[in-house]
């Protein structure tokens, strides 16, 4: 309070110190935020961002529809449907590419269109992104295509014996390497059986072993070949493992190879015939508990395996960590080595370290 002229008094109040009147002061930040919202609304309401990048938007929609309707893609020409399904998870890589293009073009339509492939991909494969394994397991099973050209079969056998598997399936056993596998695995696995190029080694007794015809020998002369000749290149077997919980039917299979030809497309004739025969054999199996181990030369997204996947569940899909890609060793792009089960519960599924083969071994823990 200060003195004024003619006895009047003037009072000055500093609102910054007293705290009064603060509510009436303007907030500069609020104005900036409101201006930003208005600019965003105006930008979104303008037609330019929606007209830009229409090719990108169309590509995003086509990508989403391709993944969504992959089962409708025909196989009549070059088995295109199976080819798409084999590498279906990798189609998700186009999403960040299209997103980068949409942001560079500032295309609102392309960004919105990308919601379709993102949603479809997550619906198909989102469940494989996490670790679904659980502790426990009564039995550990493993499978490995050891490779006919494996330069170190004895070393591969030692690595597999050290994996802790109770039951071990081998595929693509060459005649020259069979002795090495039998010698190195004998100490760990007292029971084993080999039929042609596939075999099973077990810590538990085996019985009722027989070959399974996976249709590797086709054509008019197939029926004229003697059984011992066919057995040399037999690629399937079935046996019973005696466990503490009862008998377990185990199938080992190595289906026909798949070839990709620029002119003919995907060649899957032998593989598909083998998958059908294997599905029929499993359908006729009387044992409720079944495990299928092997190199099936295809992913379980491929429609060729519907006869198998309708009866068995994938241990990797149910209890694995990630996609479990197994081939090729140098840069795995697909899981073509599988462990499928019925009547038992997968507790975990994993990929073992590389050996001298071009495939990675796969393993799973199961319980009753």
pLDDT at 157: 98
Q: Strand, helix or coil at 37?
A: helix
pLDDT at 77: 85
pLDDT at residue 121 above 90? yes
pLDDT at residue 2 above 50? no
pLDDT-derived band at 260 (thresholds 50, 70, 90) equals: confident
Give me 133's structure tokens.
Answer: 């394994």
CA proximity to 347, closest of 135, 139, 168: 135
pLDDT at 43: 53
| C-beta of residue 239 within 8 angstroms of C-beta of residue 209 | yes
Q: Helix axis angle, 54-68 relative to 115-125, nearest 10°?
A: 20
Q: Where are the alpha helices (DSSP H) in the chain?
A: 15-18, 28-45, 48-51, 54-68, 80-86, 94-105, 108-113, 115-125, 153-161, 178-185, 227-232, 269-283, 306-309, 315-319
CA dist 23 and 21 (Å) reads 5
Render pLDDT for 106-116 as a digit per residue (tens, 0 to 9). 999 999 999 99
Strands 139-145 and 167-171 turn out to be: parallel
The fraction of the chain above a pLDDT of 70, given in percent, is 83
Render pLDDT for 140-176 as a digit per residue (tens, 0 to 9). 999 999 999 999 999 999 999 999 999 999 999 999 9
36 or 7: which carries more pLDDT confidence? 36
Q: What is the mean pLDDT of residues 100-125?
A: 97
End-to-end CA distance of the chain: 91
Q: Considering only 159-163, 244-248, 265-269, 292-296, which range has the smallest mean pLDDT? A: 265-269
Give me 175's structure tokens.
Answer: 């005649």
Q: Return the DSSP state at 344.
A: S
* Residue given tokens 């994993």 in the structure block: 350
Q: What is the mean pLDDT of residues 330-336?
A: 97
289 or 219: which carries more pLDDT confidence? 289
CA dist 347 and 364 (Å) reads 7
**Across-strand partners of 250?**
239, 291
CA dist 238 and 293 (Å) reads 10
CA dist 341 and 13 (Å) reads 84
- State which H helix or E strand residue 40 sits in: helix 28-45
pLDDT at 4: 45
Q: What is the mean pLDDT of residues 276-280?
A: 98
pLDDT at residue 83 above 80? yes
pLDDT at 367: 97
Query: Is cis: bond before 281, omega within 30 of 0?
Result: no
CA dist 62 and 119 (Å) reads 13
Query: DSSP readout, 249-289?
Result: EEEEEEPPP-EEETTTEEE-HHHHHHHHHHHHHHHT---S-
CA dist 337 and 307 (Å) reads 17
pLDDT at residue 16 above 50? no
Q: What is the residue-averaged pLDDT of the chain?
A: 89
pLDDT at 19: 46
- State which H helix or E strand residue 94 sits in: helix 94-105
């Amino acid at each position: 309070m200060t003195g004024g002229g003619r006895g009047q008094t003037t009072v000055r109040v500093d609102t910054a110190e007293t705290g009064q009147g603060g509510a009436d002061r303007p907030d500069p930040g609020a104005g900036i935020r409101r201006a930003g919202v208005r600019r965003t609304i105006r930008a979104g309401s303008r037609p330019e961002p929606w007209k830009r990048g229409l090719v990108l938007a169309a590509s995003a929609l086509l990508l989403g529809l391709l993944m969504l309707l992959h089962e409708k893609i025909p196989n009549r020409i070059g088995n295109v449907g199976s080819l798409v399904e084999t590498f279906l998870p990798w189609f998700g890589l186009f999403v960040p590419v299209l997103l980068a293009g949409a942001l560079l073009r500032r295309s609102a339509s392309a960004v919105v269109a990308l919601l379709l492939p993102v949603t479809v991909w997550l619906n198909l494969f989102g469940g494989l992104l996490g670790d679904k394994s659980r502790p426990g397991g009564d039995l550990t099973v493993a499978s490995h295509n050891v490779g006919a050209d494996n330069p170190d079969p004895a070393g591969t056998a030692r690595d597999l014996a050290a994996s802790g598997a109770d039951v071990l399936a081998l595929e693509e056993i060459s005649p020259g390497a069979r002795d090495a596998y039998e010698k190195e695995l004998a100490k760990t696995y007292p029971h084993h059986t080999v039929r042609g190029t596939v075999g099973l080694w077990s810590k538990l007794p085996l019985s009722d072993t027989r070959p399974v015809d996976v249709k590797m020998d086709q054509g008019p002369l197939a029926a004229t070949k003697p059984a011992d000749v066919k057995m040399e290149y037999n690629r399937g077997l079935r046996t019973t493992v005696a466990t503490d919980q009862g008998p377990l039917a185990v199938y080992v299979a190595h289906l026909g190879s798949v070839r990709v030809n620029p002119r003919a497309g995907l060649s899957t004739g032998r593989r598909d015939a083998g998958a059908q025969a294997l599905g029929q054999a499993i359908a006729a199996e009387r044992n409720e508990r079944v495990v299928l181990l092997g190199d099936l030369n295809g992913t379980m997204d491929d429609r060729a395996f519907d006869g198998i996947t309708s009866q068995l569940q994938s241990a990797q899909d149910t209890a694995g960590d990630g996609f479990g890609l197994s081939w090729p060793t140098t840069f795995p792009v697909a899981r073509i080595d599988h462990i499928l089960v019925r009547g038992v519960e997968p507790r975990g599924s994993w990929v073992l370290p590389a050996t001298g083969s071009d495939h990675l071994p796969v393993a799973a823990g199961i319980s009753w």
